Amino acid sequence: MKSFTKITGIAAPMDRANVDTDMIIPKQFLKSIKRTGFGKNLFDELRYLDEGQPDQDCSGRPLNPDFPLNFERYRDAKVLLARENFGCGSSREHAPWALDDYGFRCIIAPSFAEIFYNNCFKNGLLPIVLDTDIVDRLFQEMYAQEGYELTIDLEAQTVTTPKGETFEFEIDEFRKHCLLNGLDDIGLTLEHEDAIKAYEAQRRQEAPWLFDGLR
């Protein structure tokens, strides 16, 4: 998993509440568990004017000219500004996969659906909860200034605007540790690789019949 320390990047808007995981990545694209290749279908029903299909070449599809992610000013955005209850609906882990594959590293919203919030941390995304009033201000500033960038410092737990205004956010210490060090569940397990190998060697001595047929 990619680590997250500090980023500065363009902020893009998802200016609606209750964006569910089917809107983030529609159900027809849930046919792979590779974790990659989903970025082209992020917000598919909003980005395109036709209906997307799995394994489809999206380069020639008609774009929705009114959808912000199709605007030149939000190209290569790394931060997504969202509204209340972002990521609600089904628990599909493909939603953070699609956001990450598109290029987002951080999502800022007043609130998140709990399962989506947890899945973000397991996939290297940083979901930040800020007060509604602060999120409103960030939206206003972003709309007013093309090329609006936010700096996210995980170690300091701060969001900094182009004007130098800083907002602090809360995060669980364990989740912060995992993000800073790029540790998902597998990575955490492999931190104890030596102890696991020692235990396996001990069990081979104590109960060799359990390992019959195993190399």
Question: Model confidence over 100-119: pLDDT tens digits?
Answer: 999 999 999 999 999 999 99
Crossing angle of helices 114-121/173-181, nearest 10°?
Answer: 40
Question: What pLDDT is attached to residue 29?
Answer: 92
Q: What is the pTM of this model?
A: 0.89
Residue labelled with tokens 């001595």: 205
pLDDT (average), residues 125-141: 98
CA atoms within 13 A on the CB side of 120: 25
Q: Tens of pLDDT along 2-54?
A: 899 999 999 999 999 999 999 999 999 998 888 889 999 999 999 999 999 98
Q: How far is the C-alpha of 55 from the C-alpha of 40, rounded, in Å? A: 10
Question: What pLDDT is attached to residue 10?
Answer: 98
Mean pLDDT for all residues in the chain: 92
Cα 180 from chain centre: 15
The closest alpha carbon to 38, from 60, 18, 15, 21, belongs to 21
Q: How far is the C-alpha of 59 from the C-alpha of 80, rounded, in Å? A: 23
Please give, one letter per residue, the 3-state secondary structure of 6-59: EEEEEEEEECCCCCEHHHHCCHHHCCCCCCCCCHHHCCHHHHECCCCCCCCCHH
**Top-confidence residue, 205 or 16:** 16
Among 95-99, 140-144, 211-215, the minimum mean pLDDT is found in: 211-215
Which residues, in sequence order, are CB contacts of 196 under 8 Å at separation 6+? Answer: 189
Question: What pLDDT is attached to residue 14?
Answer: 98
Question: What pLDDT is attached to residue 80?
Answer: 98
Give the architecture-level CATH label for domain 6-183.
Alpha-Beta Barrel (3.20)
